[in-house]
Amino acid sequence: MSREFVYIEELARHTGERVTLQGWLAQKRSSGKVKFLVLRDGTGYLQCVAFARDVPAELFESCDRVPLESSIRVRGAVRADDRAPGGFELALDSLEVLHAAEEFPIQPKEHGVDFLFENRHLYLRSRTPQAVLRVRHEVVRACRDFFNDRGFVLIDSPQLTPAACEGTTTLFETDYFGERAYLTQSGQLYLEPACMAFGRVYCFGPTFRAEKSKTRRHLTEFWMVEPEVAFLELDGLCELAEQFVSHVVARVLERCVEPLKWLERDTSKLESIRPPCPRTRYDEAAVILTSAAAQEKMREAGAPPFEHGGDFGAFDESLLTTDLDRPLLVTHWPAAIKAFYMQPAPDDPSRVLGLDMLAPEGYGEIIGGSQRVHDHDLLLERIRQHDLPVEPFRWYLDIRKYGTVPHSGFGMGIERCVTWLCGISHLREAIPYPRQIHRIYP
Report the predicted TM-score, pTM, of the whole model to 2 decimal places.
Answer: 0.94
- Specify the pairing of strand 160-161 against strand 173-176: unpaired
For 81-118, the pLDDT digits (tens) are: 888 878 899 999 999 999 999 999 998 888 999 999 99
Facing residues of 344 across strands? 352
Over its length of 442 residues, how does the chain's per-residue pLDDT go in tens digits? 446 899 999 999 999 999 999 999 999 999 889 999 999 999 999 999 999 999 999 999 999 999 999 999 999 999 998 888 788 999 999 999 999 999 999 988 889 999 999 999 999 999 999 999 999 999 999 999 999 999 999 999 999 998 766 656 688 999 999 998 999 999 999 999 999 999 999 999 999 999 888 888 889 999 999 999 999 999 999 999 999 999 999 999 999 999 999 999 999 999 999 999 999 999 999 999 999 999 999 999 999 999 999 999 999 999 999 889 999 999 999 999 999 999 999 999 999 999 999 999 999 999 999 999 999 999 999 999 998 889 989 999 999 999 999 999 999 999 999 999 999 999 999 999 999 999 999 9
pLDDT at 226: 98
For 226-266, the pLDDT digits (tens) are: 999 999 999 999 999 999 999 999 999 999 999 999 999 99
Q: Residue 424: what are its φ and ψ, rounded to 5°?
A: -100, 175
pLDDT at 170: 81
Q: Which of 305, 310, 279 is nearest to 292 (CA)?
A: 305
Residues 6+ apart with CB under 8 A from 340: 373, 379, 382, 383, 385, 386, 388
Angle ∠(237,241,247) on CA atoms, nearest 5: 145
pLDDT at 164: 66
Question: How far lies 428's CA from each of 65, 220, 341, 416, 438, in Å?
Answer: 36, 10, 30, 10, 12
pLDDT at 3: 65
Quote the CA–CA distance of 236 and 249 in Å, as a whole number.
20
Question: What average pLDDT does the structure give for the chain?
Answer: 95
Query: Crossing angle for the helix pair 127-149 and 414-422, nearest 10 degrees?
Result: 120
pLDDT at 165: 63
Quote the CA–CA distance of 252 and 267 in Å, as a whole number.
10
